Amino acid sequence: AAEKKSFRDYARMENVLTELNQAVLDKFDSVDYKLKPFKNDPQNVGGGVAVVQLTDAHLNELIDVPGNRYDFEVASMRMQKYAHEVKESLQCQNVDKVVIAMTGDMLNSNRRVSELLAQATNRISAALLATQLVQMFITDLASTFEYVEVAYVSGNESRVEKDFTHLDVELTNNFDSMIFKTLKMLFKNETSRVKFIDGGNVAEFILEINGKNLLLTHGTFLGNNAAGVTKMYAKWAAKGIIVHYSIFGHFHSAFITDTFARSGALCGANDYSEGLNYSSRASQNIHLFKENGTIRTYRIDVQDAEDEGWKGYPIQKEMAEYNAKSATKLYKETAHTIVKIVS
């Protein structure tokens, strides 16, 4: 009896599938698969506002690790290439307004012996050179876009004091803050096309762009996973502010998700990022906030600007000279070799 029941169930299923298959075949005769001309003109395709992130420049750091060499001249080439890529990628999307978001570590720290050895110049001269480079970067973009705004948060490496906190009074005692405020003074007599967004919290700063809340931070205390970002969003939600997207840097390695984007570093890989086992290239991110609420993020690779022939913005070389004699006394270069084992 069980065997007959099993056979009947199988037969019923076979009949159902046969009828379903025949019904599908019958439908094919009534469907017209010939392609017809059609228009695809979505609504609300306005250009929107682009956030051009500038982060982890470490402009006074000398880097010489496998695959990455960096100094002021290389930084100038990479910034020039970045500006070109920004203009090329945004002009075709009808963007006429950009926000330059400086998210920290424009200079490197000098609190460790290794950092002192890796400095391209003293930090006061470096701050002046950094200001000059960013001034040219801003001017370059302002020559193309109708309106440019500049915002910033402070990073951990650019601090003046040895210790790092999230107190505003400490975070403004920072070369990132000094560079921003100097730039603001340099552009005060310019036309209204360049404006500076000042007065916010310099650890975490929220901008509302086309109805979306964008949080700027350096990323020092976020950790290298999404959990830190989730906790940060929860903190702001408790204050009644919903963060839709956040951008930061700090880890020298790009990582783009649906709700946040971590930028790579202008300086590229260094001893810090390699110590974290990150395989990275010099890169920066562009974030486009469309009028219809869409958020798009682009990673711009600037690693090979020198090899590609970029000349860079002109810098005062006498200010960027490095005391090589002192370095050679304390620093002994170690060759990077690969040990081969053969059978």
The tens digit of pLDDT for each residue in 77-101 reads 999 999 999 999 998 898 999 999 9
Cβ-count burial of 96 within 10 angstroms (0-12 exposed, 13-18 middle, 19+ buried)? middle
- 41-45, 57-61, 159-163, 314-318: range with highest mean pLDDT: 57-61
Residue burial 276-312, b: 16+ Cβ < 10 Å; e: rest: eebebbbbbbbbbbbeeeebebbebbbbebbeeebeb
Phi-psi region of 206 (alpha: psi -120 to 50; beta: other; left: phi over 0): beta
Identify whether the C-beta of residue 253 lies closer than 8 Å to the C-beta of residue 273: yes
Region 166-181 average pLDDT: 72
The answer on pLDDT for 301 being more than 90 is yes
Average pLDDT over residues 214-226: 86
Side-chain-side CA neighbours of 125 within 13 Å: the count stands at 15
Nearest to 50 by CA among 11, 13, 94: 94
* Range ranked top by mean pLDDT from 7-21, 136-150, 170-184, 276-290: 136-150
Residue 315's pLDDT is: 78
**Residue 36 CA neighbour count, 13 Å, CB half:** 3
Q: Is the pLDDT of residue 189 over 60?
A: yes
| Residue 50 pLDDT exceeds 80 | yes
Evaluate if residue 326 carries a pLDDT over 80. no
> Is 208:151 a contact under the CB 8 Å cutoff?
no
Using an 8 Å Cβ cutoff, are 330 and 114 in contact? no
| d(C-alpha 187, C-alpha 177), whole Å | 16
Percent of the chain with pLDDT over 70: 76
pLDDT more than 90, % of the chain: 49
User: Predicted confidence band at 44 (pLDDT cuts at 50, 70, 90)?
Assistant: low
pLDDT confidence tier of residue 294, bands split at 50, 70 and 90: very high
**Burial class, 175, CB count within 10 angstroms (exposed 0-12 / middle 13-18 / buried 19+):** buried
Outline where DSSP puts E strands in 8-110. 49-54, 63-65, 68-70, 97-102
Strands 212-217 vs 204-209: parallel, antiparallel or unpaired: antiparallel
Angle at 281 between CA 102 and CA 336, to 5 degrees: 130
Identify which of 126, 127, 123, 128 has the alpha carbon closest to the alpha carbon of residue 110. Answer: 123
Task: Write down the pLDDT at residue 133.
Answer: 94
Q: Which of 118-122, 274-278, 308-312 has the lowest mean pLDDT?
A: 118-122
Please count the residues of the chain: 343
pLDDT band, residue 312 (cuts 50/70/90): very high
Check residue 115 and give its pLDDT.
Answer: 42
Pairing of strands 63-65, 147-152: unpaired
Q: Measuring CA to CA, which residue among 194, 203, 81 is closest to residue 133?
A: 81
Q: What is the mean pLDDT of the chain?
A: 82
Round to the nearest angstrom and report the end-to-end CA distance of the chain.
67
Residue 175, token pair as written in the block? 């070369």
Give the pLDDT confidence score for residue 103 in this predicted structure. Answer: 95
Per-residue model confidence as pLDDT tens digits over 238-269: 999 999 999 999 989 999 999 999 999 999 98
